[in-house]
Chains A and B, each alone.
Chain A
Amino acid sequence: MLFTSLDFLAFLSIVLALYFSTPQRFRWILLLVASYYFYACWKVEYVFLLAGTTLVDYFAGLQMGKTEEKSKRKKYLLMSVFANLGVLFAFKYFNFFNDSLRAAFNAFNIFYDVPVFHVLMPVGLSFYTFQALGYSIDVYRGKKSPEKHLGIFALYASFFPQLAAGPIERSTRLLPQFHLEHRFDWEEFKNGFLLVLWGFFKKMVIADRLAIYVNAVYNHPADYHGMHVILAVIFFAFQIYCDFSGYTDIAIGIAQMLGYKLMDNFKRPFASHTVREFWQRWHISLTKWIMDYLYYPLALKATKKWQGYLVTFFVFVIIGLWHGAAWNFVLFGAFVGFALVFADITRPDRKKMTEVLFPQRFGILRRLHKTLQVAIVFSVFMFASVLFRSNSISDIPVILQNMFRQVSFSTDAIALPNFSLYELAIAGLAILMLEAVQWLQQRRPVFQSFAQRPLWAQYAVSHALLFAILMFGEFNLKPFIYFQF
């Protein structure tokens, strides 16, 4: 059940109506049933997997809470880690490693006969296993007392707005909210509603429209060159951002309408001045998770500078692999890791060069420098996105080469048979609107203070968004890109 489907709109309306007419003490039951139903709509069998890992994590948490003995606590932590990562490995990574090993063995003419595991990966598996793992590690570290209420814990592991694609919430933030009373707050409801509309706008007007262009080029890279490829690469950067941040906005907005606060996942990443800053603004919940549970524990053990660089590189390869079990995702992670290490190593020299070329006392040069930084970071991301989006490793050089072949600015060189200049104009205007709203949001909390604006302004903005979605949205349902992770 996709957020952008009519089924989901009906489901959400029913859940909202029932939620606010149910006494507080029973609301967790309603949300839990709704969340499991939501998940079962993809495939009923997935529910057992979710319930199974939930039970293991619940039990492990309780056992860790019963003892102060570190070795015993560690035993239960390992139980939770193996259960979660085991499921993740079996469903997401087994075939990838299996195929890679087969290819390697075949290269040396060695017989290899481990069969392929024919199973569809459960939606949102990487998200909910990381969220559950975070809980177990927090309990192990003593940051969070174990959750005693099985129902509430199951709800934490399956809360439907963020079940399929995050944000990956922390137990310390989300779990306590399920114990609080949530009275109907009209202002919060309206703020949440606007965020939901904004998410739909990003997904249906920008991401899904750009997807038509991007898919045409990326699915047949050898057939396109010049501006077609350049535009497809730029468009994919916006597509994936609007797709994922659109989902996040809808998730946060729905939770807000119900009275819950989820963490921010994006902070205008395309305005970043450094690659490091970009990763502090992009998929924040995953980056923070990785930093807290993987990077810092490893980095603290690194005594030499090169060891620190190795940790950074390794962590980003893991982030790449988290996104998908394929070599292009490994390359994507490795490239980002390399870019970060390179930026770190060259920082002193770059600083000196900047002082010479862009003296800070000249305002215009300072601004030019900042603009250049943003452009460079965006270019780095675009290059990484080619690695991310390409259908296979062999497509990557084709796309990169064809970008610079026969560049022309004629109509035929820009539009596609199934994507006219008119549609390009709609996409361009929508992107401009996106940037304008984000720029505003950076200066004042547009979405948080929406309900305090005059009533006519609230109506005008909501209706403008609603009708923009209806008039210019793409209604051929396309799943969110991050659902596959």
Chain B
Amino acid sequence: MMKLPLAQTIVFVLAGLLIAAALFWVSDTLSPVYSADKRRLKKLRQYANEIEAINVGNSHNRAVDYEAMELRGFHLWKPGSDMFEVYYLLNAVVPLLPNLKVVLITISPMSFKFDNGFDESRHGMRREYYAITPTIRSWRPIHGDMKNLIKGKLAPLVREDCWRGVVDSILVNTSGDEREKQKAAVMNAVDEYGYIGLHFEKRMKRGIETDRSQELLNLIRKSEEIFRGNPKIAGEVYETAAATVQMLRQRDIRVIFFSPPVTQLANELFAGETPTTALAKQYIQRLEKEFGIEYYDFSQDHAFAQKYEYFFNEDHMNKSGARIFSRRLAEICGFAKVAKM
């Protein structure tokens, strides 16, 4: 009696999967979602055998310039990333890189209080990670968050633009303003080091706040909100960082945590939020003590903090700043040796 329903259900599901696959292909071919990140992952696979280093974490990674480090590295960071996403991404992509020797991970004062899965407003970032990470290992959700995993994996089908990109690419070649399109193309460009967009040349004016100050304050407040909502968050981030270290060490990969330079203005902002900075320091010290991690803190380095010409805003280095800092980091870490290994 149940044979007919079962057979029909199986055919229905199979037909559905076939249609879905066709739609995925159409979507990815004509107007891929998260195209820059997908291109980045494609390049990662392309250069997989050459890549010696990758850097993950948040936008403070703008301070990394592999050319200056004389290292064949690849940028895999995304703005606003948290430690759970760092682990998720590394777990999925590290097995693809046979010659990977170094992983650089940024730490900011809010790192131990941040979880993009905490509230709706940041779920999009989490979903982006799920959407762009291509391997089988990427099907393991962060904190059992199946909802966003499914949404992320279905992103090419359940498109936020309601398939407008695809329709436009079929019907017209000139959707939107041409200049805007060119600008978007530049921003979406991925260089051979996996850097999306361009290293900013723009220089910050000495001691004059930009809009970033308010953004930073909002981020600090958000991290406090997350901490209040889940007081165990710092412990969870710590466990994840520890798991990351162990996972990478099992593969003989060197893990380097670092806090790149930020301006005096940013330091003053963070100093006003002592518990946040203190908590980050406390957990970093615990990681150093229990796992002997390498951690380099340049956040208050006077060689950089007062030199606003190295930054394009309060906590992000511009191209020249990144070049100088990266040489310094390479020197301290002895990367010349890595390249020869």
Contact = CB atoms under 8 A, between A and B. Distances in A.
B8 A455 contact: yes
A6 B152 CA distance: 13
Interface stretch (B31-39, B99-107, B160-168, B278-286): B160-168
Interface string B1-20: 11011001001100110011
Interface in B186-227: none
A473 B4 CA distance: 31
B147 A6 contact: yes
A459 B15 contact: yes
B336 interface: no
Given A6-B147, A466-B16, A471 B11 contact: no
A472 B4 CA distance: 32
Contacts, number: 45
A467 B19 contact: yes
A470 B154 contact: yes
A466 B18 CA distance: 13
B305 to A, nearest CB: 40
B158 interface: yes
A422 B4 contact: no
Interface residues of B, number: 24
B167 A422 contact: yes
B40 to A, nearest CB: 25
B338 interface: no
A184 B23 CA distance: 34
Contacts of A186: 4-5, 8
A475 interface: yes
A455 B8 CA distance: 9
Sort chain A's interface into a size bin.
20 to 34
Given A6-B147, A189-B5, A475 B15 contact: no
Given A470-B154, A471-B23, A422 B15 contact: no
Nearest to B2: A184
Contact of A472 (B16, B147, B154, B163): B163
Contacts of A473: 158
Nearest to B4: A186
Contacts of A459: 11-12, 15
B147 A471 contact: no
B5 A470 contact: no
7 contacts: A6-B147, A7-B147, A184-B5, A186-B4, A466-B16, A467-B19, A475-B158
A470 B158 contact: yes
Nearest to B12: A459
A391 interface: no
A472 B162 contact: yes
A455 B9 CA distance: 11
A462 interface: yes
- Which 5 pairs of residues, A with B, have the shortest CB-CB distance? A186-B5, A422-B164, A6-B147, A470-B158, A470-B157
A463 interface: yes
A422 B12 contact: no
B5 to A, nearest CB: 5
Q: Is the interface of A mostly helix, strand, loop or mixed?
A: helix
Contacts of B150: 6
B120 to A, nearest CB: 8
A471 B146 contact: no
Nearest to B8: A455
A24 to B, nearest CB: 16
B159 interface: yes
Nearest to A209: B162
Contacts of A463: 12, 15-16, 19
A68 B28 CA distance: 73
Interface of B: 1-2, 4-5, 8, 11-12, 15-16, 19-20, 23, 146-147, 150-151, 154, 157-159, 162-164, 167
Given A462-B12, A471-B23, A473-B158, 10 more contacts: A186-B5, A186-B8, A422-B162, A422-B167, A423-B162, A455-B8, A459-B11, A471-B158, A472-B163, A475-B158
Contacts of B1: 184
A186 B2 CA distance: 9
Q: Is the interface of B mostly helix, strand, loop or mixed?
A: helix
Given A467-B23, A471-B23, A426 B8 contact: no
Nearest to A423: B162
Contacts of A7: 147
Interface in A428-478: 455, 459, 462-463, 466-467, 470-473, 475
Contacts of B159: 471
A455 B7 CA distance: 12
Contacts of A426: 162
A471 B167 contact: no
B222 to A, nearest CB: 20
Contacts of B151: 475
Contacts of A184: 1-2, 5
Contacts of A6: 146-147, 150
A184 B2 CA distance: 9
B208 to A, nearest CB: 31
Identify which of A184, A420, A422 gathers the most chain B CB atoms within 10 Å of its CB: A422
A327 B34 CA distance: 47
Contacts of A466: 16
A222 B99 CA distance: 62
B317 to A, nearest CB: 34
Nearest to B164: A422
Contacts of B147: 6-7
Interface in A155-199: 184, 186, 189
B266 to A, nearest CB: 32
B179 to A, nearest CB: 19
Contacts of B146: 6
A186 B19 CA distance: 24
A471 B19 contact: no
A313 B220 CA distance: 57
Nearest to A193: B12
Interface in A1-52: 6-7
Nearest to A183: B1
A471 B162 contact: yes
A467 B1 CA distance: 30
Contacts of A467: 19-20, 23, 157
B19 to A, nearest CB: 6
A473 B151 CA distance: 13
B163 A471 contact: yes
A257 to B, nearest CB: 12
Nearest to A455: B8
A473 B157 CA distance: 11
A459 B7 CA distance: 13
A431 to B, nearest CB: 15
Nearest to A476: B120
Nearest to B168: A422
A462 B12 CA distance: 9
A115 B2 CA distance: 60
A423 B167 CA distance: 12
B117 to A, nearest CB: 15
A7 B144 CA distance: 13
Nearest to A469: B158
A184 B4 CA distance: 12
Nearest to A6: B147
A422 B162 CA distance: 9
A426 B150 CA distance: 24
A455 to B, nearest CB: 7
Contacts of B23: 467, 471
Contacts of B2: 184
A422 B4 CA distance: 42
